[in-house]
Amino acid sequence: MERAAVRGRLTWQVGTVTELARETARTRSIALDLPEWAGHRAGQHVDVRLTADDGYQAQRSYSIASAPEDSHLVLTVERLDDGEVSPYLVDELGPGDPLELRGPIGGYFVWEQSLGGPLLLIGGGSGVVPLRAMLRHHRAVGSAVPFRLLYSARSLEDVIYRDELMRMAAHDEVDIRFTLTREQPDDWHGYGRRIDQALLGEVAWPPEERPLVYICGPTGFVETAAEALVALGHDAGRIRTERFGPT
Amino acid sequence: MSPISRGFRGRGRVEADPARVPPGQYVTRDFPVLSAGPTPHTRLDAWSFTIRGAVDDPVSWSWEQFQALPKETVTVDIHCVTKWSKLDTVWTGVSLDTLLDGVESSAGYVMAFSDGGYTTNLPLEDLEGGKAWVAYEFDGEPLDPEHGGPARLLVPHLYFWKSAKWVRGLELREEDEPGFWEGYGYHNYGDPWKEQRYAGD
């Protein structure tokens, strides 16, 4: 594994919510105005801290959904019903509200042009969020690195960034493939099952082309995808993972 | 001064003894998994644990030899930098005091190394005095590969990334150097009670 130094103190800063966009029934994107933001790299995350009126605080980590080139920092948050912070962010936070955070955090689950490719992004559920930042970054810098996104969701209604991804998928040069594991529309032409070795064998470049792979999603999804790719002959050192625990 | 999050009441306030939950942490009963790459699967007949580097004589144990070492079962609280804490976790393994017994070294630091290329750095004294183990059982069962099996470092008084999964040995060093996450901006020492999550905390 390689190492890149990221130094400097991460201080808490207060942003202002500028826009809220419902992505699915369970997810919402939060655009923030952050005067002190020093920039980020695609794939990094932030720590968000909430404070109750009696001073009680809770903090959690959320992936950044926006590219470094985008005008605002955007977080996309999925509501976990037994969660403490996510229900607030998805259902209660309003435009103009302050939101305290610090970041960017993480330097390994990051893609930028200098890392090359081919770039294979594999997302399960809300695991697509940091991959979307990479995808937007790839488009924003006009990268010629070949890339593919494989996105597994339960149904079309659960696909986050559906319009944006469908629009991109309609372009020939952007290779986005979906698998809908629970429910597929009648005219569905994508995959309709949970990811497995055969599916990844079809979607991934052959191991000889040494794709750089980023997998993000729930633990079971990430384990399945990573193990299948290793079994197919991919170099474990070219596979970067990020797993979602309960938050 | 943190702004009040209008309408946030905090329904996750811990029922656990607050003296056992470091600042910024919440208690979970799950056991989340976090790692930077695919889970390695090392065959036990190819496994060894090695202490090397700034030592007079490197020492190494096979899996069989390691199992024959005196073992301890400990109940400890663990704290992940991603904010979850898990209380009263039960582990069985070999104390680092046992492994370091007889190792002659003037080194002050350790780089733990693992299958898959993961590393993490610690002061040697944090591994001594009944504070650290190489654990191979969780809750009385062989440690699951997702959680670092066949064996992982267990250093519960530091954030859990210091408890290297799939650990294969320790390199003793005269000088401290950052390990994997420490090189990506995570705190060099990682004391959860001082909330040392990231560099500069």
Q: What is the CATH classification number for the domain harbouring A70?
A: 2.40.30.10
Chain B residues near residue A51 by CB distance under 8 angstroms: 2-5, 8
Q: Are residues A125 and A203 in the same domain?
A: yes
Claim to verify: residue A117 and residue A221 sit in the same structural domain: yes
Do A55 and A148 share a domain, yes or no? no
Closest Cα in chain B to A218: B33
Tell me the pairing of strands B26-27 and B84-95: parallel
Asked which of A54, A87, A105 is the last residue of a domain, the reply is A105
Is there a contact between A9 and B201 if contact means CB atoms under 8 Å apart? yes
In a domain, A147, yes or no: yes
ipTM of the complex: 0.91
* pLDDT, tens digit, 9 for 90 and up, residues B16-33: 788 999 999 999 888 777
Residue A4 has a pLDDT of 44
Kindly report the length of chain B. 201
Same domain, A101 and A123: no
A8–B83 C-beta distance less than 8 A: no
Distance CA A90, CA B8 (A): 12
Q: Identify whether A64 is part of a domain.
A: yes
Supply the pLDDT for residue A172: 65
Q: Which domain holds residue A200?
A: 113-244
Structure-token match 């306030």, residue found: B13
Q: Does residue A5 belong to any structural domain of this protein?
A: no
Judged by CB atoms within 8 Å, which residues 83-102 of B form the interface with A? 83-84
How much is the average pLDDT of A121-145? 96
Distance from CA of B81 to the nearest CA of A (A): 10
Of A70, A86, A105, the residue at which a domain comes to its end is A105
The pTM of the full predicted model, rounded to 2 decimals, is: 0.93
Q: Based on the domain organization, do A221 and A132 belong to the same domain?
A: yes
Q: Are residues A217 and A147 in the same domain?
A: yes
Instruction: Among B12, B30, B185, select the one facing A6 at the smallest CB separation.
Output: B185
On whether the CB atoms of residues B192 and B25 are closer than 8 A, the answer is yes
Contact status, residue B134 vs residue B172, Cβ threshold 8 Å: no
Query: Residue A29 — φ and ψ, nearest 5°?
Result: -100, 135
- A125 with A210, same domain: the answer is yes
pLDDT of chain B, 201 residues: tens digit per residue: 899 999 898 876 767 788 999 999 999 888 777 888 999 999 999 999 999 999 999 999 999 999 999 999 999 999 999 999 999 999 999 999 999 998 989 999 999 999 999 999 999 999 999 999 999 999 999 999 999 999 999 999 999 999 999 999 999 999 999 999 999 999 999 999 999 999 999
- Token pair listed for A11: 């201080």
In chain B, the domains with their CATH numbers are 21-32+44-194 (3.90.420.10)
- Reduced to 3 states, what is the DSSP secondary structure of residue A148? strand
Task: Identify the domain boundary among A105, A130, A164.
Answer: A105
pLDDT of residue B32: 79
CATH at A134: 3.40.50.80
User: Does residue A228 surpass a pLDDT of 70?
Assistant: yes
Whole-angstrom distance, CA of residue B23 vs CA of residue B13: 12
Q: Which token pair is B50?
A: 């090695």
**Overall number of domains in chain A:** 2
Q: Kind and range of the H or E element at A103?
A: strand A98-105
Same domain for A149 and A223?
A: yes
